[in-house]
Amino acid sequence: MSPPRLTGALRSFSNVTRKEDFDEKLCDLKTKRLKRQELFAKEGLTWQKVFHFCTDHQDKMKQHAVHQELKNLLFAAKQIVGSENGQEAIEHAAVFLLETFHNKDHVGTEETRAIKQMFGPFPSSAAETSFTCVARLVDSLRDSRIDEFIQSYCSRHKPQQGSSFGRNIAFSHECFMLDPLEELPCSGIQDQNMSLDF
Amino acid sequence: MACARVPLDEQQVTERDELGRERSLAALHPDRKQERLFVPYAALSADACPAEVEEFLERGRFILEDLEWLLGLPHDKFWCQVVFDRSLQNCLDSYVHHAPRSLDLASAPSSPAVAETQCSLHRAVFFAFLRMATHKESKENFITPAVFGDILYENFLFDVPKMMDLCVLFGKGNAALLRKMIDNIFLQQPSYYSDLEDTVPTILEVFDTILEKCGLRCAAAAEPVKLNAHKQPTAVGMTQQDFVDIVLYLCDASSTLHAFLSVFPAACATFHSRGFLCRLASFYESVVPDLENALTKRTFQDKSLQEDVWRRLSHSRRRMLETAHLLLHHTCLQPILEGAENTQTFAEEVLQHFTSFLSEKRFLCDYDELFPIEDDVSLLQQALPAIDETRTSYLLQGVHSAWESAGRRKPPAAGSPS
């Protein structure tokens, strides 16, 4: 809870601010994760595209093994996203895991954080399993430019249009501090003896 | 993409709707807002458990990611988001409401990760507000100034408390940029001046509330008090928590007000016209000695807390004195120094204020110590040689008497022989 503030009083007792309050509960972290999943799903790379790419870039002899890895990846995704979610959500999660791990050599802090930010708490074994699946898939598709395939869809890695506002503006983190006591004028803290003689 | 060299508020764009049909719509249109869902900021409490720290970090990363996305948007898309996305407005508002001030108790972050997230958020929020206060980003990207003023005001993108929060959060290190922002907001939307006027009585009510809580002002003085009525609260008698809260409230109020008036001196005239200076002096006179007295009389188990509260009280005193000086300087002394036409009127006002301070002895001494009244009187004498000497002598004698009656010795002026 914030300590009492002057501006808090101004917001409560003056009529110079917006009165109706936006419901903060509508924006809890769970809702935010769902929104991020929804936005991710719109980015363009679908499970069907991944499936076709993996199948098309593999000779028939190895296709069975690739299909098995894709199946394993879906299973790991199901554990991460939660079994109560539908097939579509699981497939989007599997795509996310492929994007996250395709150029990584282990499950690091950054990857763990990215998965948690997207899906919330998850079993670490599922992350390890999905990492292993992705590593095997990438390994079997070494010459097929899987990086380029993913990059062409993955907006997370695309540079934003134009430059970010404020990039060239200096910002200072300096903030107001309490005055050093010795610089203040004489405080007069001593109790003044009040005379009650009239 | 919107057309160049036409203000954003007049631009039309052609976009495809959900069914793939082409349609023309205003560049600044709610349908052009993108789905994002910004989460509100929540401050981390000093005694947060690891799970709460983790939640703070996660929330911080969401906000940061979204604000970086926002700042990277082209001009037209940025404004569609700012105007039509309430979750974004709420996120920015929640930051200025809840972000820890450097003067809060235990405001230091609990871990390097928290500090880093807080620093990054602080910067991103500032740039979001800076961009919102800029109506012309480049030759191609701009909004008609009057329309810009209306957009800010009607959508509450800025309001007076928010600008005060911005000043206390960012005013130390980024005063120049903040001044440009707030100057521009008030310039493009003069309605903020009337909001400022409406705000002054509420600030005075805050002063009254503090006085009431200390038992220095009766809430309903006109009504007779029953003999068996509850005793008035006093600064000595209240709980330690209440006492600390009052000092923190005073510290926040005085620091916020001072930060705002320093960054935006044009507001001084509004405060001055509502008789704020006299009220500030009399508030100081009542509350400062009372709280100081209570602080020394109360028994604190934790001596470091007592010391800390004392520092905040001293800090508040100084900010109040500096605020009084800012008001006097920008409304009366500065015009005299600049040789304004009605110098006589300004000089008269300064003298009137100083004379009214004579009854607020503690305030007078403290003010005189920081901003010697003699110097200002000398300035008046130089600017207006015909000034009434009897009056200035009376005033200076009054200042001298105030020092004597307080039993304090005025420190020698810098450069004078010891």
Q: State the residue range of the domain holding A97.
A: 34-155
CB spacing of A171 vs B318 below 8 angstroms: no
- Least confident interval from A106-120, A158-172, B178-192: A158-172
Please provide the average confidence, as pLDDT, over all residues in chain A: 82
Res A192: pLDDT: 44
Q: What is the SS3 string spanning B324-337?
A: HHHHHHHHHHHHHH
Report ipTM for this prediction.
0.91
Closest CA relative to residue B370, chosen from B415, B323, B417: B323
Domain membership of residue A99 (yes or no) is yes
Residue of B nearest to A168 (CA): B127
CB spacing of A171 vs B173 below 8 angstroms: yes
Q: How far apart are CA B320 and CA A184, in angstroms?
A: 13
Query: Is the per-residue pLDDT at A183 higher than 60?
Result: no
Query: Is the per-residue pLDDT at A146 higher than 70?
Result: yes
The answer for A 92-131 residues in CB contact with B (under 8 A) is 113, 116-117
Domain membership of residue A29 (yes or no) is no
Domain membership of residue A196 (yes or no) is no
Greater pLDDT, B156 or A145: B156
- Closest chain B C-alpha to A99 CA, distance in angstroms: 18
Question: At residue A28, what are phi and psi to the nearest 5 degrees?
Answer: -75, 175
Q: Please give the average per-residue pLDDT across A144-162, as a whole number.
A: 68
Decide if A8 touches B, using CB distance below 8 A: yes
Query: Is the per-residue pLDDT at A190 higher than 80?
Result: no
Tokens at A102, concatenated: 């395709």
pLDDT tens digits, one per residue of A7-38: 999 999 999 999 866 555 556 899 999 999 99
Pairing of strands B22-26, B12-16: antiparallel
Res B230: pLDDT: 63
How far is the CA of B116 from the CAs of A68, B92, B103, B110, in angstroms?
43, 19, 19, 11
Query: Is the per-residue pLDDT at A137 higher than 50?
Result: yes
pLDDT band at A158 (very low <50, low <70, confident <90, very high): low
The answer for B 148-167 residues in CB contact with A (under 8 A) is 156, 159-162, 164-165
How far is the CA of B304 from the CAs of A186, B300, B308, in angstroms?
21, 9, 6
Domain membership of residue A170 (yes or no) is no
Domain membership of residue A15 (yes or no) is no
Res A155: pLDDT: 61
Tokens at B18, concatenated: 């959900």
Q: How far apart are CA A77 and CA A71, in angstroms?
A: 10
Res B218: pLDDT: 62
Tokens at B43, concatenated: 């401050």
From A1, A7, A39, residue closest to B164, measured CB to CB: A7
Closest CA relative to residue A88, chosen from A26, A37, A28, A35: A37
Domain membership of residue A147 (yes or no) is yes
Q: How far apart are CA B374 and CA B381, in angstroms?
A: 10
Domain membership of residue A111 (yes or no) is yes
Res A198: pLDDT: 36
pLDDT tens digits, one per residue of A46-96: 999 999 888 888 777 778 888 899 999 999 999 999 888 889 999 999 999
Decide if A177 touches B, using CB distance below 8 A: yes
The answer for B 38-97 residues in CB contact with A (under 8 A) is 38-40, 43, 45, 55, 58-59, 61-62, 68-69, 71-74, 78, 86-87, 89-91, 94, 96-97
């809702």: which residue's tokens?
Answer: A31
Tokens at B205, concatenated: 């009510």
Residue of A nearest to B409 (CA): A186
From B58, B102, B156, residue closest to A117, measured CB to CB: B58
pLDDT tens for chain B, 418 residues: list them: 555 589 999 999 999 887 888 999 999 999 999 999 999 999 998 889 999 999 999 999 999 999 999 999 999 999 999 999 999 999 999 999 999 998 887 766 778 999 999 999 999 999 999 999 999 999 999 999 999 999 999 999 999 999 999 999 999 999 999 999 999 999 999 999 999 999 999 999 999 999 999 999 765 555 666 666 666 789 989 999 999 999 999 999 999 999 999 999 999 999 999 999 999 999 999 999 999 999 989 988 888 888 899 999 999 999 999 999 999 999 999 999 998 888 889 999 999 999 999 999 999 999 999 999 999 999 999 888 888 899 999 999 999 999 999 888 887 766 555 4
> Which of B84, B119, B170 has the most A C-beta neighbours within 10 Å, making it the best mutation to test the interface with A?
B170
Q: How far apart are CA A76 and CA B126, in angstroms?
A: 41
In the DSSP assignment, the letter for residue B64 is H
Every domain of chain B and the residues it spans: 8-189, 194-219+233-405
Q: How far apart are CA B281 and CA B352, in angstroms?
A: 13
Domain membership of residue A45 (yes or no) is yes
Res B418: pLDDT: 42
How many domains is chain A built from? 1
pLDDT band at A139 (very low <50, low <70, confident <90, very high): confident
Res A193: pLDDT: 40
